[in-house]
Chains A and B, each alone.
Chain A
């Protein structure tokens, strides 16, 4: 099992650019979620999914879109990157929303 994989590991964007952060899991978990981690703020939930075709907003959803067409994949799209979106992004999956296994993270810098 590869667990939760994320690509890319690092990314630098210019303000206004768009991009997609990829997340995949091979554990057949129904729940998948995206978090961002910022110094002094802890981990904050962006969006989550309870199964293919079902997504919902978390604490900080603005500026991000998600879709879940398969159980395995849960990409996060940044529509128009802003410097405030500079962060480390973690994807997670699990059997429940409060039992999550995290990926290695994507470090994003927006200039």
Chain B
């Protein structure tokens, strides 16, 4: 079983839609949760960083962590064509430990 599971998609939505991206994980010791955005042929860029459970909001992006269900989500409100990218979740036990990535979900926002 992989440490982190992520539906690869692809996901296609109309502009303005609310997008929900999700990851599940098996290691209950994970405490740090990250979302990265990766445009085609570019390196991943850090979008959201959360510690433990709860929600974190940054503009149109909201990250949620449900440790009891071992489930994390990224919501994108008012999606834009510029949001079209692959979204990767990642998580780690501690700041000094490696983190494990999901395989990524490909998102296309149609104008």
Contact = CB atoms under 8 A, between A and B. Distances in A.
Interface in B1-37: 4, 6, 8, 32, 34, 36
Contact of B98 (A42, A58, A90, A102): A58
Given A42-B88, A42-B103, A42-B104, A98 B95 contact: yes
Nearest to B103: A42
Interface stretch (B42-50, B55-63, B77-85): B42-50
A58 to B, nearest CB: 6
Residue among A59, A92, A99 with max Cβ neighbours from chain B (10 Å): A99
Given A43-B88, A90-B44, A98 B32 contact: yes
B95 A104 contact: no
A48 B97 CA distance: 10
Nearest to B104: A42
Contacts of A101: 45-46
A51 to B, nearest CB: 12
A104 B102 contact: no
Given A97-B97, A99-B95, 18 more contacts: A33-B98, A41-B103, A42-B4, A43-B101, A50-B96, A59-B98, A90-B44, A97-B95, A98-B90, A98-B92, A98-B98, A99-B46, A99-B49, A100-B46, A102-B43, A103-B43, A105-B42, A105-B43
Query: 4 closest A-B pairs (Cβ-Cβ)?
Result: A102-B43, A96-B95, A98-B92, A42-B103
Interface of B: 4, 6, 8, 32, 34, 36, 41-46, 49, 88, 90-92, 94-99, 101-104
Interface of A: 4, 33, 40-45, 48, 50, 58-59, 90, 92, 96-105
